Amino acid sequence: MSSLEISSFCFEQETKSPSSPPLVEASAGGPLEHVREDVGEDEEKPKDIIRFTAEKLSVEEVSQLVTSPLCGAVSLFVGTTRNHFEGKKVISLEYEAYIPMAENEVRRICGDVRRKWPVRHIAVFHRLGLVPVSEASVVIAVSSAHRAASLGAVSYAIDALKAKVPVWKKEIYEESSSSWKRNKECFWATSD
């Protein structure tokens, strides 16, 4: 797929009630800004923000989206492209996803997180297309009143994402070869 084709699959889903703080798209395609006034606990509704995009991910942006005056903790997982795999030099990764199914699976993961931990906001961003070495391919952020809940939730969310969400990864090596990688954690993967 070309980057133009991948860009057409960019997706953002926000689950929120009308009274929760709005997300505003900055002009000229800039980053999202979180618009918030001082709100009480009853007014700030929990939200799940899910985005698959070909754009470079901003850890700061994702962190800000889950920040809340009601929370004392924001926990993050940032998955980046490393420069090697099994003795081969990796120059980038390429990700593809079946967006409707991926979004539904991430929404289920958010629901599971909320049943297991008392968290406020959850953001799951996954990059599609080429991701160079050291750049983020996935950012997960969770806010909660106390650190134990957000730390547990982030760990669970990345493990569940790797096991259940239909995202495919191709490693591109320096010697002009590449290899699609099967995620051994996926429930549909067969045993070797």
Three-state SS for 78?
A: strand
Enter the pTM of the model.
0.74
Binding site residues for substrate, as ranges? 146-147, 162, 169-171
Q: What is the distance between the alpha carbons of residues 105 and 160, in angstroms, rounded to a whole number?
A: 9
- Selection from 36, 59, 160, 44 nearest residue 106 by Cα: 160
- Measured distance CA(132)–CA(139) in Å, rounded: 15
H-helix or E-strand spanning residue 66: helix 59-66
* Residue range 3-11+44-79+92-128+136-170, CATH number: 3.90.1170.40
| Nearest CA among 123, 110, 9, 115 for reference residue 64 | 123
DSSP H or E run through 103: helix 99-116
Torsion of CA 167, 152, 45, 48, to 10 degrees: 0
Per-residue pLDDT of the chain in tens (192 residues, 90 and over written 9):
333 333 223 333 443 333 333 333 332 334 444 444 455 555 689 999 999 999 999 999 999 999 999 999 999 999 999 999 888 999 999 999 999 999 999 999 999 999 999 999 999 999 999 999 999 999 999 999 999 999 999 999 999 999 999 999 999 998 766 656 566 665 555 554
Task: Delimit the domains of the chain by residue range.
Answer: 3-11+44-79+92-128+136-170
Q: Residues annotated as binding site? A: 146-147, 162, 169-171
